[in-house]
Amino acid sequence: MRQVKLIATATFGLEAIVADEVRKLGYTDVVVENGRVIFVAELAAIARANLWLRAADRVRLVIGEFKAVTFDELFEKTKALPWYEWIDPEGEFPVDGKSVKSTLFSISDCQAIVKKAVVENMKSKYKKDWFPENGALYRVEVSILKDQVTLTIDTSGPGLHKRGYRDWIGTAPLKETLAAGLIYLSRWRNDRPLLDPFCGSGTIPIEAAMIGKNIAPGMNREFASESWPVIPRELWRTARAETHDLANFSQKVEILGTDIDGEMVRVAERNAEQAMLDGEISFKRIDIKDLHIVGDYGVLICNPPYGERISERSEVERLYRTLGEKYRSYRTWSYFVLTANEQFERYFGAIASKKRKLYNGNIKVDYYQYYGPLPPFQRRDWAGED
């Protein structure tokens, strides 16, 4: 089958998680770089990667890579690439661009030149002087880093965080892709309880339930490349059938999401219903100070308020101190907290076992990880892991 080179883009700090996801799909030719994971695979990987990658932002098809320091170089080398092998004559192909530390720094000029080069390439193949661009979407990106040009086509369409279940959101929502990354980093398994005491619109509990039941995150949405004639429809049918075959809908999970805001609890319940997880997750209106944690060897994952406004700081300090009290009261649990508040450990009352730098949107955050003891049945399974 035809081989393609793909880039799974990733939030800074989640590259290793995305690379692990790619390898678990069976693709071993993997290179990890800042903000992206590059891999070579058969054509079917376009469908499977879009359907299964939980922590990646999107999947891009690499059309070509080369060095360019002049606009003439950019035009001629772009024109020489096999665009006509991918873009059909009715296809819509807008061009996005970015340039970092490069001679060709004018993004608008680079976009215009690439657009013109693609058109000229397609003219030579299709023997047409004009393209209506009213068909399938092929969003082209020209990315230039230190004069090295990478030209790609986006295969995803809307970002992969758009699972299709979150019709209702609260303020400062956590992206689904980041939520999945947090769960992977916690090494939670579906035979352990999971709690999010600041669940908001329910993203972390819903993503956890989908992971626990092996429900592909892209199962209930469409992708731009599904309408590309160059990819056989049978390939997509097979890939989608795989998501249903591998899903374990009957798997029981013990997941609880709580929030002090009753309206947000109702939003979380509606989102879970949209994700076809109605009744699979418990959502309750509870203040963190009144929360009674049930069970042993559970995993708490949360994205609490950061206290960026002066008026919020004292309340956030209280929340963090209360969370720390829960940590000291339930010592068999593992705690994982995402926050931009640099004083978190001070208020929480304990130094994290590990801390990882991430980004929540444009906000630089830290993921504080407090490891509790492993359940007896997992200790042998996890022996030797980092």
User: CATH number for the domain including 310?
Assistant: 3.40.50.150
What does the alpha-carbon distance between residue 62 and residue 96 come to, in Å, rounded to a whole number?
14
Neighbour-count burial of 192, counting CB atoms closer than 10 A to its CB (0-12 exposed, 13-18 middle, 19+ buried): buried
- The three-state secondary structure class of 7 is strand
What does the alpha-carbon distance between residue 83 and residue 77 come to, in Å, rounded to a whole number?
12
Shared domain for 336 and 192, answered yes or no, is: yes
What does the alpha-carbon distance between residue 335 and residue 298 come to, in Å, rounded to a whole number?
9
Shared domain for 203 and 148, answered yes or no, is: no
DSSP 256: E
Residue 231 lies in a domain: no
Tokens of 14: 């989640």
> Quick one: pLDDT at residue 302?
98
Shared domain for 182 and 123, answered yes or no, is: no
Cβ distance 154 to 141 under 8 Å?
A: yes
> Quick one: pLDDT at residue 380?
46
Single pTM value for the model = 0.93
Shared domain for 185 and 310, answered yes or no, is: yes
Residue type at 3 in one-letter notation: Q
Residue 119 lies in a domain: yes
Residue 235 lies in a domain: no
> Quick one: pLDDT at residue 310?
63
Task: List C-alpha distances in Å: 99 to 68, 109, 176.
Answer: 12, 11, 28
What does the alpha-carbon distance between residue 300 and residue 185 come to, in Å, rounded to a whole number?
12
Residue 161 lies in a domain: no
> Quick one: pLDDT at residue 168?
65
Beta bridge partners of 282: 256
Shared domain for 135 and 253, answered yes or no, is: no
Residue 127 lies in a domain: yes
What does the alpha-carbon distance between residue 151 and residue 303 come to, in Å, rounded to a whole number?
36
Residue 202 lies in a domain: yes
Residue 311 lies in a domain: yes
Containing domain of residue 352, as a range?
A: 176-213+248-379
Residue 386 lies in a domain: no
* Best CA proximity match to 165, nearest among 254, 252, 280, 260: 280
What does the alpha-carbon distance between residue 340 and residue 204 come to, in Å, rounded to a whole number?
18
* Best CA proximity match to 260, nearest among 291, 228, 294, 229: 291
DSSP 272-313: HHHTT-TTTSEEEE--GGG----SSS-EEEE------SGGGH
> Quick one: pLDDT at residue 147?
98
Cβ distance 157 to 62 under 8 Å?
A: no
Q: Determine phi and psi for 340, rounding to 5 degrees.
A: -95, -5
> Quick one: pLDDT at residue 385?
42
User: CATH number for the domain including 128?
Assistant: 3.30.2130.30
| Dihedral sign computed on CA atoms, order 274, 276, 278, 283 | negative
Render each residue's pLDDT in the chain as its tens digit; 386 residues. 689 999 999 999 999 999 999 999 999 999 999 999 999 999 999 999 999 999 999 999 999 999 999 999 999 999 999 999 999 999 999 999 999 999 999 999 999 999 999 999 999 999 999 999 999 999 999 999 999 999 999 999 999 999 999 876 666 679 999 999 999 999 999 999 999 999 999 999 999 999 999 999 999 999 999 999 999 999 999 999 999 999 999 999 999 999 999 999 999 999 999 999 999 999 999 999 999 998 899 999 999 999 877 668 899 999 999 999 999 999 899 999 999 999 999 999 999 999 999 999 999 999 999 999 988 876 544 433 44
> Quick one: pLDDT at residue 169?
64
Cβ distance 85 to 130 under 8 Å?
A: no
- The three-state secondary structure class of 48 is helix
C-beta neighbour count of 92 within 10 angstroms: 15
The three-point CA angle 117-115-236 to 5° equals 100
